[in-house]
Amino acid sequence: MKYMGSKARFSKYLLPIILKDRLENQVYIEPFAGGMNMIDKVDGVRMANDQHEELMAMWHALIYDHWDPPQLLTEAEYQNIRTNQQDYPKHLVGYVGFNSFGGKWFSGYRRDKEGKRDYWGEHYRNITKQLPNLDGVILSCKSYLDLKFKKNSIIYCDPPYASTTKYRDDFDHKVFWNWCRKQSKLGHKVFISEYNAPEDFECIWEMPSKTTFSWHAENLSTKENIERLFILNT
Ligand SMILES: C[S@@+](CC[C@H](N)C(=O)[O-])C[C@H]1O[C@@H](n2cnc3c(N)ncnc32)[C@H](O)[C@@H]1O
């Protein structure tokens, strides 16, 4: 699924590192699963959490209720759902809200002036293609802080990245890194995607990347960043 901050293009590098020493039946869990663009390539016992209610309602409807989402919405329908979200089922609001510019929540109706791109068809095909690979994923919708883990879990974190622009940043990164320290010390294998980390974390992989959107900046400029994967230095 096209999703802001998607790790789709890095999954082929990240997953071999994260899953390298995975034991049989070792749980793989993502506290910030978003568009499920990593977990859809993992097998075995898997748990996907995200605190975005409509997003998780959408995944639940698609994976467990075999909901067939709409293949086309007019701009008027999109705007109506955007303005009157409370009048629509959450799973539909989730599906529509993320079919927006950059996979960013209700950031605007995508239309192609030349009529060449069928954005609703693409959204439909991307998501329905993912579904067979999400069969059996255990879903939850809560803050990562409220998650409970089975002993010795593999926890892959892809949180909202720390803002470099100081623009609207309501995710507490200090609390997050403390939580990572705590989970690592409890014996879980904790991997974190971020551009930067506190000094007691070690970068085990990096790759330059261009991003159009960030979780914190609402402009469309393209930025060069370095994607990194961290673990706690022990
Ligand atoms: C960068 S995105 C994850 C993208 C995902 N890895 C992918 O490839 O599609 C970060 C996600 O964290 C979620 N999130 C933000 N704060 C959260 C919190 N406190 N607890 C759980 N999820 C949270 C957001 O809803 C968003 O879906």
Which domains does the chain carry?
Answer: 8-51+142-232 (3.40.50.150), 63-134 (no CATH)
Least confident window among 16-20, 164-168, 174-178, 198-202 = 164-168
Contacts of 7 (CB under 8 A, 6+ apart): 14, 37, 38, 158, 193
Alpha carbons 123 and 127: distance in angstroms, whole number: 6
Q: Which helix (H) or strand (E) holds 63?
A: helix 53-63
Q: Given the CA of residue 50, which atom of ligand 1 is nearest to it? A: 22
CA angle 3, 38, 78 (to 5 degrees): 20
Residue with CA at minimum distance from ligand 1 atom 3: 34
Q: Given the CA of residue 30, which atom of ligand 1 is nearest to it? A: 6
Residue with CA at minimum distance from ligand 1 atom 20: 143
Q: Given the CA of residue 37, which atom of ligand 1 is nearest to it? A: 8
Residue to substitute in 42, 46, 51 for testing ligand 1 pocket (most ligand atoms within 8 angstroms of CB): 51
Reported as a single tens digit per residue, the pLDDT across 61-81 is 999 999 999 999 999 999 999
Residue 168 is predicted with a pLDDT of 46
The answer to whether the CB of 8 falls within 8 A of the CB of 41 is no
Reported as a single tens digit per residue, the pLDDT across 113-134 is 777 889 999 999 999 999 999 9
Residue with CA at minimum distance from ligand 1 atom 27: 34
Instruction: Reply yes or no on whether the pLDDT at 219 is more than 70.
Output: no
Q: In this structure, which amino acid lies at residue 233? A: N
Neighbours of 173 (CB within 10 A): 17
**What distance in angstroms lies between residue 30's CA and the mean position of ligand 1's atoms?**
9
Percent of the chain at pLDDT exceeding 70: 92
The residues pairing with 208 across neighbouring beta strands, listed in sequence order, are 226
Q: pTM (2 decimals)?
A: 0.94
User: What does the buried/exposed string (b/e) look like for 101-135 if buried means 16 or more CB atoms within 10 Å of the residue's CB?
Assistant: bbbbbbbebbeeeeeeeebbeebbebbeebeeebe
Q: In this structure, which amino acid lies at residue 130? A: Q
